[in-house]
Structure formats: structure tokens, C-alpha cells
Structure 1
Amino acid sequence: MQQPALNRKIKPFQLVALIFFTVSGGPYGLEQLLAYAGNHAAILILLITPLLWDVPAIFTVMELNCMMPVTGGYYKWVKHALGTRWGFYEGWWTWIYTFVDLAIYPVLFVGYASFFFPGIEAYRIPVCLCIIWASAGLNILGIVPVGRVALFLSAAVLSPLIVLYVMAIYKHGGSLTIPHQTLHGLSFPSFGMSLYFVMWNCLGWDNITTYAEEVEKPVRSYLRATFIAFALVMVIYFFAVAVAIQAGIGHQLFFDKGFPALGELVGGHWLGAILAAGGMASSLGIYAAVLLSVSRVPKAMAADGLLPKKLNILHSRFRTPYVSIVLCSLVVSFMILWPLAELLIIDVTVYGAGLSLEYISLIRLRISEPDTKRPFKIPLSTAGLCIAALLPFGVYFIALGGAFASEGGGVKAALFAIAVLSTAELFWQVVCWRKPHFRRHR
């Protein structure tokens, strides 16, 4: 028997914490930006990219979610707007992208934990597996426990950062000095990789909608929580990169050792230690929040007959899609073997393809259902939406081009991501072979 709705729904302030961790979790992971963009382009790329990449996505997600605040989120929107086939593509792509995304955070946890335990890298895989399966257990308990843990971890992430910012500004006479920002002299591969790092640190706005039916007053709660979280993320990112530039930390040192090294430079070993602890908390919080969102997608697809019915089974006590959670955790357990930089390229490339279907769905619904109630509506005409959608597409293809132009594993990762995207059609044909009635769907 299902629990009363009130007992399983989270409140708006918990939603802010979940959104914060789903799309950001703090600036941990931005360290590589300076290595690629340098002091004279990092801030510019950091501020411009979210305006072109995130803002269109946020507004699109808010309008679609206000129309259809349902479990399954983006999968349901695309299926409703474009048909079952494209809904399957959306669910499949975003499911795969989230496997890749999830695999990044246990690896980051080990990196920050090495500040306290220098030899932990030798035990990277066992530690990562512990994180994966502990988070699976937490998610099986339900959205409310995950929301409470996210709220606690938010404080653990933000507190050290506030100390860092205050000390850095005080140390430099109460001000931050930002060098002149320009893209002049920045190579195309470096520019592309810089975009990838910023895009990765700002993606996932659609993921927060997959559990909309488990949120109190979802339409109003999502509107407020999303814009609060976006403002919080951008302020944190700006100060983090500005402090790193002003402190004069070596780019390679920042790349290798991250914010703990910056903390040691600004305030000493104790500040480095609490920033390392903050990085560990960030990795744990992001992992739990993203797993929460992705586990609802296969459940919704299974309910529609597109995936095995077992993925739709709910836990008898906690009413959570525990089979889906366990399956996701199994796949991520293998993905942790990939190098971090290559995971990031695969992650953003596959995510961008799924996001493109959401833009197309928004435009299609404006045309086919102009009179449907929209508590929130983007103040643009259909033609305006088409033009606005070109902005994130432009950023996406520039970043992808930069990956192909780069040396090392960038090309391999980009090609793998494209191959992964092509598997959606393969598995759609498998679905149609097993259930021929789906061939009649659009």
C-alpha cells in the first residue's frame, strides 16, 4: 500500500539543496578551467557560457515542467510532443549520460580524500564502489532522506568556500582584482575544452524534474527553487575562479591538487583540509541527487512498456524504484574505470543530444497546443524560441569541435559518445521487434 502523499514529498528548501547538487555541488571540478582558459579568459568563459547554455535550458525546463509536472520529466515531455520513438531516444540518451555523469563523482571523492589519505588512490575502485552502493541504499529509503542528506551536505560544501572567499578578500585589502578578459590567443582546442568544463559544471536542469510528483506544490516550488539555485551556483563559481586567479596559484598545481591546494595557499593547511572535506561532501551530495533523478526515468519507461517491467517495481516499504536504482548502480560500477577527462566529454556530448529534443518538444507544443495552460511561459514567440535555441546548439558544437581538434583522449571520447548516441535506434528496433505494436507509434 502506498504511503500518504504528504509523507513522501519534499519541501521547497530541500528542493533547492537537491537542485544545487544535481547541477553543481559547488565549484569542485572547475579547477581544470584555468589550465585550459588561463587567467585572461576563464572568467569570461565562466560567465558567458551559462547565459548561452544554461539559461535557455532552465526556461525550457520550467515551461515544460509547469505543463507536465510528472514522474519521468523530460522523457514524458518528449514522448508527448514528438511521439513514443523520440521519447525512447530521450530516455535512453539521458539514462546513458547519467551513468557517465555518476561515474565522475566517486573518482572526484577519492581525489579530495587523498589530501587526508595520500595512499588512497591505490584503493580507488573499492572506495568508489562503497560510495556507489551506500548511495543506492540511501536512495532506496526515499526522496525525503535524500533531501535531508543533501541539505546537510550543502552546509558542508558552502561553509569552507565562504571561509576561503572571506580570507582571500581580506588578505588582498578587501577587494578582488580580475585581469582583463579576452579570448585572444586562446587556441580552439583549449577553448573547446574550457567550454566542456563549464558546461559540465552547469548541466542537469532537466534532471531535477523527474521526481516532480514527489515535491510539494511542484509548479511554484520548482520555479522558485530553480532560480535560487542558479543564482547561488553562479555566485559561487565566480568567486571561486576569481579567488584562484588573485591568489596566483599555478595552473598545473590547481589542476592536480584542486581547491585544497588553493586553501593552503590562502590560509594554510587547516583551510586546505576543510576545503578537501567540502570536496568530499560535494561528490557525495551530487552522486545521491543525480541517482535520485535518473532512477525515475527507467521506471517511467518501464511503465510504458519500453523497458522490462521489473524496472517499474516499487519497494514494498519505501515505495521507491529499487530495481532501477540497483541497475543504475551496477552500470556505474563499471563506468568508474574511465579516465575523468574522457568521462566529462562523453557526459556533455550525450547530454546535449537529449537536451536538443527538449528544445524541439517545447517548440512543437507551442505550435500543436497553444492553448494548454502554462503557469510559466517563456516570453518569446515560436520564432523567438527557434532563434534562442540556436545559442545552446552553437556552444555545444563548438565544444564538440574543440574535442575533435584536441590531442590525447578527446577524440576517442567524442567518437565513443557519438557511438553511444547511435545505440538508441538499435535498441528501439529491439523494442519494436519484441512489441510490434510500437511500430505504429510516431
Structure 2
Amino acid sequence: MTAVPAGMVSGTGAQAPARPAVPWLTVIPFAAMMAYADGFWVVSLRGAVGAIERTQEPFVSWLRESTVLLPLFMLAVIAAVTLSMRWFGPVLAGRKAFFTTALLVAAAGTLAGALTLAASEAWDYALQHNLMGALHHANSAQSAEQLDQSSLGLQLAAFGYGTGLLLITNLVVTGWTVAIRGGRLDVSRRAKEAPPGRIARRARSGRSLAGATDLRLTLAAVALFGCAAIHLAVIPDHLNHWVVASAFFLALAMAEVAGGVLLLGRPGQSVLVAVAAASVVPLGLWLWSRTAGLPFGPNSGVPEPFGLADVAASLLELGTLVIAVVLLRARRKADGEPEGRTTASAHLRALAVVGAIAIGSLGVAGAVPGLLGDMDTSGNTTHGTTH
């Protein structure tokens, strides 16, 4: 970990202080170690008390689910180092700062793992609850209510024991990772300084290095890319029963990719309006299909079940819509440079972007058959490709 570099030349020719950059060589190793270690316990507990439908191929399940959840653990580690930097500064000085940061990293990873475990246990209970109902209709000797209560108690106990296991595991993993890295635990790193020629060119064009990327624009672009990935992932499933829906998702994904690319430049008002439209249209159709049911299509008038993929895509679309509206309102109040060119710290920008990536990853995982499953309205296990 090194000191913060001297200033950079801003668009006005003045010296602008450089902000500490995200220590990705700290974030990625810690996140990967905790994601795969915690994923082992989640899958192990599922094999012990989970629904029988989800206990097949435990090694493959551990590998793919831990990989899908890696962005969530990256988000947790970034949040921990960001909080530590706010408390102790960009350089950890003293044992108190060092050990507090290590505990923050372990606690953040445990929170991410506990959320994952809670979702897994809730899913198992829902599947087992459906099985209890089937046994009741089959006139089982033991009442469905007793079996259901036993299943709920078992899942709650597994969550309690599992959270303790996750905490101990993450403490050990954090200490082990620090030891492997030679006792280093960085919360920031020196931001790379651009060559003088590039600084001069940006200064002449009225753009600063610090203001080149806006948090809101970057977040909206990443959210659009995540939506496009989810929509592309659901196309194969819709080809089997409604080709029109597949064509719509393909066109929507292409529009979202184009909108995201334009947002990374210097978007004008027309681009922001188009981005808002590309978000509000699918969001409105999704709400309609999940409440009253679309008046057209193979299942017209029948509400569709919620799934992981469609919920994730809708969250990203909602976030993009809010950002586009905020920037449009800001542009109407500004005569010159749009308000969307304000800067944000690298850590805050990384938190927002990795958070959007985590939601998009979960959405894609829920849309790909065989990767993660979902439940339809009847309680049967299906894949969350509806949108």
C-alpha cells in the first residue's frame, strides 16, 4: 500500500487530487476464497437437510453456484475495505487498524454467505412444503402439518448452525489469505497516472481525468448490459413455446447493449430518453404479465410466476430508469455541462458497479437451464426463464 499520488491536471488546467483506487489484488483473492469456502458449507447443509430435488451432483452444484455468487462476495469485500478506509485512511497504520479491517472482511463475507444460506434453506423448505402437501393428498399416516413443522424447524436449525460455521470458516480463510499474501491487507492502492500527452488532450477538450466517468452513467450502463445478458439467456427457452417473445428479447437486448455503450460516452438528452424508454417498456410488460397476465400469447390472461431471472432484470431496469430520469431532470436545470459528469470515489463506484454485476449474474444463472432452478406456482421445480 502506497501513499496517494500528487494531483492530476483537471479540465481547467488546475491540479486535482487523485483519489485512492480499489485494491483489486486484495478484493478478488479474499472474495474467491470465501465464496468457494462458504459455498462448500451451503451445499453440504443442503445435502444433509435439503430437498431431495436439489441434492444431485453436489460437486458440480458447489462449483457453479460458488462461481455465480463470486460477485456478491466481491461486493462484500469492497464494502469492508471502503468502511475501513473511511475509519483509518488509505494506509493501515497499527495493529488495531489491521485487525479491525481483517474482522470487517470476515464479517462482510459471513453476511454474504448467510444471505446465500438463508435463500437456500428457504428454497428447500418451499420444496419440502409442496412435498408435504402431496403426502397429505395421498393420505399419509403422518399429518402434513406435523411434517411441515418438522421441516421448518430443521431448516431453521441448519441456518443457525450454518451461520456459525460460515463465521468460523471466514475468520480462518481471512487469516490464511493474509498469511499467503505475506501479511499484506490493503484498503486502497495508488491510482495510475495518465501520460502527460493524454492529460493535455483531455484538458484541451474540456474533460478531466477525474470527471471522465460518472457513477450514475457507469451504473446505468452496467445495469443495461446485465439486462441484455439476462434477456439473451431466456431466448432459448421461449423458442420452444413462443417465437415472438424470443424475437422481442433479442431486439430488447440489442437496444440495451447499444444504450449502455452510448451511456459510456457523452450522452445527450435523446440518449437518456431512449434509455428510459428501453427500461420502462419491459418493466411495464413484466408487471402486467405477473399481475393480470398479458392479453396475448399462448397463456393470455394468465399471470406468470415470478422467477429469479425476471426479478433480477426488473431490478436493473428500475435502477436504470431512475438514473435516466434523474439525469434528464438535471439536464433541464443546467445550461452547459450536464450534471451527470460529477465524480465519485473509486471505491463507491466499484460498490455500485459490482452490485449491478452481482444482480445480473444471479439473473443469468436463474435463466440458464441446469444452472439454478426456480419454482412455478404449483411448487414444481422449473427453471426461472420466464420474463
TM-score class normalised by the smaller sequence: under 0.3
| TM-score in terms of structure 2 length | 0.27
Q: Which has the larger radius of gyration?
A: 2
| TM-score in terms of structure 1 length | 0.25
